[in-house]
Amino acid sequence: MPSFKGGGSKTTVSINIPQFDASFTGTGDLFAALMLAYITRTNHNVKESLERTIATIQSVLERTAQSFPNKVYFQFYYWGIFVSQVLGFEVDAINTVQFSNHSGYGHLKGKVITEQDFDELIEGLKMNDLMDYTHVLTGYCRSPQLLSKIGELVKELKKANPTLMYVCDPVMGDNGRMYVPEEVLPIYANELLSVADVICPNQFEAELLTKIPIKDKASLLKTINVLHDRGIKTVVISSSELGPEKHLLGVASTVVGGSKTTVSINIPQFDASFTGTGDLFAALMLAYITRTNHNVKESLERTIATIQSVLERTAQSFPNKDPSALTCKEKELKLIQSKSDIENPVVKIEAQPFSL
């Protein structure tokens, strides 16, 4: 029964809530967050806030019996989580780091989770029989020991569910610079690639993994083939510098039943560098590769369409500023504002068969 005392006049309202014949966990959290939103929107109109909050929770509880077909398991930071949820995946996330902010800012405070922390979380999931994952997506991780454990876990999960898809985003660096300890490289190269179904390095990361410098389309194709030869079904280079002027080139390649399809896409380049786009890319590819059953052309097109609209909205939020002059904070990706573009991306750029 919320009550508001403002300007001397008090309003108190109550609502009858149809009761479900079960008890749920999480509804109190939901209630508080919804009341916060509606009290803000209505400027403390407790009647409307209570009504909308209860209406929302009632519909969530009604829908709770319908479950999603996919249960994704995430191991990283936050950008991809929202995208996966919007695209219909139920997400369990383990933050491999709990930082105050991403590493693009001048200062970084916080903690990297330890192997013991990780073991405890996995133990709890196992004790409750919650390890029925359909997908695993790994991203930013600074600890080689932890990455190695994640590799073991993926093997275990695959034993339990042979159709589980593991998408490995080997987050190590960009533009010739590593931003994680270099000890993670051999773990990706020797332990994680062998269990990955999909891998999505950027150009620099692909070079690190294969030791092949990518200077032209031929060396790019060679890199992709080396990664396929390691048993990876779908290899995606999220961006390379081989596009036409003011464009990046993205490439995706898949081998199904012995036949290979490789496509590329020209990505209009913004005059700024953003953080989180690689995370977004991996989460989007996971969703579309799943939906289209490894149709790399459609997956790459929809992924790029989505990211382009997120970046446009991000850059346009300061229309009087040159994108290259935006601060780190101003460049935080406008994900929530892009929810409908994430749900229904409009493909404007077609991917083409990749040819030399």
Ligand X SMILES: Cc1ncc(COP(=O)(O)O)c(CN)c1O
- Decide if residue 99 touches ligand X (CB under 6 A): yes
- Decide if residue 103 touches ligand X (CB under 6 A): yes
- Decide if residue 275 touches ligand X (CB under 6 A): yes
> Is residue 268 within a helix (H) or strand (E), and if so which, with residue range?
strand 259-268
- Decide if residue 278 touches ligand X (CB under 6 A): yes
Instruction: State which residue, 134 or 138, has the beta carbon closest to ligand X.
Output: 138
Q: Minimal distance in Å, beta carbon 122 to ligand ADP?
A: 26
Mask: binding to ligand X, 156-175, rule CB under 6 A, as x and -? ---------------x----
Instruction: State which residue, 60 or 112, has the beta carbon closest to ligand X.
Output: 112
Residue 273 binding partner per list ligand ADP, ligand X, none, with a CB distance cut-off of 5 to 8 Å that depends on partner kind:
ligand ADP
Kindly report each contact of residues 251-257 with a partner whose C-beta sits within 8 Å and lies 24 or more positions away, as own/partner: 251/220, 251/224, 251/354, 252/285, 252/296, 252/297, 252/299, 252/300, 252/351, 253/224, 253/228, 253/296, 253/354, 254/294, 254/296, 255/228, 256/294
Which of 191, 197, 205, 279: binder of ligand X (CB under 6 A)? 279
**In angstroms, how far is the first alpha carbon of the chain from the final one?**
69
DSSP 154-221: HHHHHHH-TT-EEEE----EETTEE-S-TTHHHHIIIIIGGG-SEE---HHHHHHHH-----SHHHHH
Q: Which residues bind ligand ADP (CB under 6 A)?
A: 174, 202, 238-239, 248, 250, 267, 269-270, 272-274, 277-278, 281, 304, 307, 311
Q: Minimal distance in Å, beta carbon 106 to ligand ADP?
A: 19
Residues 6+ apart with CB under 8 A from 183: 144
Q: Minimal distance in Å, beta carbon 28 to ligand X?
A: 30
- Decide if residue 201 touches ligand X (CB under 6 A): no
Catalytic residue flag (residue 216): no
Question: Which residues are marked as active site?
Answer: 279
